[in-house]
Structure 1
Amino acid sequence: MAHSRRGTHRVRRTVAAYAELVRVPNLFTAPPDVIAGAALAVAAGGTATVPAVAGVAAASVLLYAAGTTLNDFFDAPVDAEERPERPIPAGRVLRPAAGVFGAALLLCAVLLAVAAAGTAAGIGALAVAAAVVAYDGALKGGPAGFLAMGAARGLNVLFGTTATDASVASLPLWALGIPVVLAAYVAGVTLVAATETTGASRRSVVVAGGAAGVAGTVAVTLLATVGLATRALAAGVGVLLATGFLVVTGRALARAYRDPSPETVGPVIGTCVLAIVPLDAAVAAVAGAGWALVAIAFVGPAVGLSQLFAVS
């Protein structure tokens, strides 16, 4: 009986370590990207099926999990000094095992995307995977690294369009603008997070704040033009969600500007990452309130699990 209890405890510790490795709260911010992308394509005249959207969303979760896993795999030497509590430097996950796990997640994501929505989805998954690996590996720390991290998010939105019968090339400029502004926002947040352990510069906080303002404003503009013309009630819901995004990120980044210490910046980064969900939901409202409601539903588990696991 004692041996059984020890075995159960060991399994629980391993599961908890891997949940921390993949930043389990953050995983719930990936499907809303896909939902927003699919909604943009639908608003532009495309059609989508629930199985395809669900499959692509699940693949995006695997891609995100791979990204955080490989991030810690590559960062293990630095984390040993700056973040010794993380699973790899703490010895709760072996570094080679993390590398294999991350690579397996990437492969499974691509295969799932193809099974769910065909070749175009597989190509979309490969594009996200390439941006993730580029950021985690060679580009992190420099300007190209911030852009790569932002590109991964923007591509994740475009990945969502592959769950529809619309091609990326057929999308109007207003639909293509959303992935760009989301990429800029994430790049700005990544810029702040780069110095999270030593304290952020106020300049990087201002950059992130400006990117957040542009992203929220573009979402509102989209809803006030394309959305309002066809779905007034849904557009109103979307505007409220976009306003919420602006308020939440504005307050968080204002705290970081006043006090750019590691103790403040860490939680602020977590807030800015989780705020992607209402921004995606606001964008999704362009195709109808149902799309927005499905996307915003992910905020509950994301915020709830952030009380148990670190986001940044």
Structure 2
Amino acid sequence: MSTAEADRGSVTALAALVRLPNLFTAPPDVLLGAALAAAAGFAVGLPVLLGLSVASVFLYAAGTTLNDYFDAEEDARERPERPIPAGDVSERGALALGGGLLVAGIAVALVAAGPVAGAVAAALALAVLLYDAAFKGSAVGFLFMGSARGLNVLLGAAAAGVVPTALPSWALLVPAVVLCYIAGVTYMAEGETGESARGAVIAAACGTAVAALGVVGLVLALASTPTEVALAGLLLAAFLVWTGRPLRAAYADPTPGTVGPAVGACVLGLVVLDAAFAAAVGPAWALATVAFLVPAVGLSRAFDVT
């Protein structure tokens, strides 16, 4: 193998390790949080928002990397094609990369937006670490994974430099809804096989329904304009179609061949959900958010999402 081929192989292995398509689902959470802060009357600067988006990507990449590090033994039995059991990335290298990305995510958030953002990023990093290292597969673990996504939304709100408690109640309900949605999706991912698979799909569908109600609630709370209502409705319909079809297939035949794609669709569908929420604030927020779906979907054709 030539040096160029070896380098390409290393890059491909790292892209698979960090779940490259999924990285593009992290900034939409941040944009949604910033949109909520803006709707609450706080100023949000573009450079700060960009910095927090980068921090969010680092933290997400840390989570997927550490996930594979802690799952290395299980993956060697059940998913030998993954980078660590395949020998493309060493366990020590994955641990160093994951830990470094966690620290980098917190540091970038702190530098970009100050101590509030740094504290939210640290809480997010802790949720990621606890899920990966200790609580994966448990009810508490599902909540930790959902909390990580909810905190990612609050990270965006920290672009305004305000503590989460300074936000109005309607704004705080949005990350709570995202938490519920991702907790349900995580439960479905953990119940991919076995007798509980159909129940896990139902849990994810319930999370999807809660998410849809959340969008409607935000539109009503903000008294959105007709244009904002129409765009939010369009994006919400797209979200329900995007997730509904694979969820229905998974419920009808709950096997890894249907549940896995349903999990992937729900993960990518979070971008559309974020955009539907953001549309209640303004079309520009929604369009900026949903734009991340393009690279996420494109890259999902080459790299696994789950």
- Given the two structures, how large is their TM-score scaled by the length of structure 1? 0.95
Task: Note if contact 1:281-1:295 (Cα within 8 Å) is conserved in structure 2.
Answer: yes
The CA distance in 2 between the partners of 1:227 and 1:21, in whole Å, is: 43
Distance (Å, rounded) in 2 between the aligned partners of 1:73 and 1:60: 20
Q: Separation in 2 of the partners of 1:108 and 1:303? A: 26
Provide the aligned C-alpha RMSD in A.
1.3
In structure 2, the partner of 1:158 is 154
Q: Is the 8 A contact 2:215 2:236 kept in 1?
A: yes
1:200, 1:261 within 8 Å by CA — same for their partners in 2? Answer: no
The residue that corresponds to 2:297 in the other structure is 303
Could you tell me how far 1:197 is from its partner in structure 2? 5.4
- The residue that corresponds to 1:271 in the other structure is 265
State the 1:284 CA deviation: 1.3
- In the other structure, the counterpart of 1:12 is 8
Deviations 1:99-150 (A, max 9, x none): 0000000111111111111111111110110000000001111111111111
Question: Counterparts of 2:60 and 2:161 in 1: how far apart (Å)?
Answer: 24
Residues 1-312 of structure 1 correspond to what in structure 2 (within 5 A)? 6-196=2-192, 201-228=197-224, 231-312=225-306
Q: How far off is 1:270 after superposition?
A: 0.5
Give, in whole Å, the separation in 2 of the partners of 1:34 and 1:173. 18
Alpha carbons of structure 1 residues 306 and 216: separation in structure 2 relative to 1, 3 Å? same
% identical aligned pairs: 51
Distance apart, 1:223 and its partner CA: 1.4
Q: Is the 8 A contact 1:198 1:262 kept in 2?
A: no
Deviation, 1:225, is 3.5
Distance 2:117 2:233 in 1: 30
Aligned-residue offset at 1:232: 2.9
Aligned residues: 306
Question: Displacement, 1:34?
Answer: 0.4
TM-score calculated relative to the size of structure 2? 0.97
Q: Is the 8 A contact 2:56 2:152 kept in 1?
A: yes
Quick check: 1:70–1:99 contact (8 Å CA) kept in 2?
yes
**Structure 1 residues 124 and 138: CA distance shift in structure 2, 3 A:** same
Cα deviation, residue 198, structure 1: 5.4
Task: Tell me how far 1:169 sits from its aligned partner.
Answer: 1.1
Unaligned runs of 5+ in 2: none
Distance 2:249 2:170 in 1: 32
2:209 alignment partner AA: G
Counterpart CA distance in 2 for 1:183 and 1:84 is 31
207-216 or 217-226: bigger deviation = 217-226
Asked whether the 8 Å contact 1:200–1:262 carries over to 2, the reply is: no
Distance in 2 (CA, whole Å) between partners of 1:214 and 1:292 is 20
Q: Are 2:113 and 2:161, in contact at CA under 8 Å, matched by a contact in 1?
A: no
Does the 8 Å contact 1:17/1:93 carry over to 2? yes
Please say which of residues 219-228 and 78-87 is displaced more in the overlay: 219-228
